[in-house]
Amino acid sequence: MNHVLLSAVHLGMVGVSGLGLAGLALATDRYGAYLLGKEPTLGQRRCAQGIGWLLLAMALAGSVVVLGTGIGVTLWLGWLGMAALGLVFALPKWPWQPVVYQRTARQPVDKSIAPLPMQNTRVRRVCAGGALCAAVAVFMALLLQELAHTGAQARAMQGQAGPWSFTLEEADQAPPELVAMDIPMKTFRLRFCEACDAEIRQATLKVNRPRSPTSTGMAFMGQRWERKVEIPLPDTLRAESELWLTVVGKDASAYQTAWRMDQVSPSTVQWFEQQRKSHEMP
């Protein structure tokens, strides 16, 4: 996904969410009269409420479809909070708000109710402000992480296995992880097109060409856009080594495709070259 489309997705989320929240506010007794300048009718409230929930659902659905369930819901919640915050600051500036008449005479103060200490009020305001700043900071950190991940997807491999289109990418750009017996492992993600996914029975991945139909590598686990696999990497891996993907459909048809390792994972190739220099691997 390019940065222009990603920016459009984020702007769409905050804009549609803000309109949805405005619709829900219009459906209430207090803010309906405030926004319209008069008391809204029952039909207007129901219409505004339905449109408000529909817009919020559209923003959430669009975020999930484009960015996936986990990241999509998280970012939508963050933008929903930002839209609500913007609405809070925009309402006092609403140009068509009803006129509030000033009282000419001061009302006597009921001294039976003790006012809150000024210090407690300031502490509460500071705490509320700190909590708001912390929420915004967490949301921006998640957003920057998502932008960084999207930038990492620039090297994602687009491919076609028979009639099915897909995207293959590293789970991260870090060097391989050493597990038991110092075996280097690398994790990859695989995403088929939404229409293709229901037709896939199994997808496997391995380094070097499979020698037989029964040795096609490790199988991807998960469904839809959550397919993931961790594969062992041979000590002989080099830039020209090939990463082979085997896809088997529910109709038993099988297709294979391959890429050079320096195209899929340059960090992995660089790590193996450094290992050879330091350990004088053949």
Query: Which of 194-203, 219-228, 273-282 is the least confident region?
Result: 273-282
Between 94 and 166, the higher pLDDT residue: 166
CB-based contacts of 63-68 (< 8 A; 24+ apart in sequence)? 63/9, 63/13, 66/1, 66/9, 67/9, 67/146, 68/225
Mean pLDDT of the chain: 79
Q: How confident is the model at residue 2 (pLDDT cuts 50, 70, 90)?
A: low
Q: Summarize the confidence of residues 142-151 as an average pLDDT.
A: 55
Q: Summarize the confidence of residues 265-276 as an average pLDDT.
A: 91
Q: Summarize the confidence of residues 30-45 as an average pLDDT.
A: 74
Q: How far apart are CA 49 and CA 20, in angstroms?
A: 9
CA angle 13-16-18, nearest 5°?
Answer: 100
Q: How far apart are CA 110 and CA 102, in angstroms?
A: 20
Whether residue 23 contacts residue 31, with contact meaning beta carbons closer than 8 Å, is answered with no
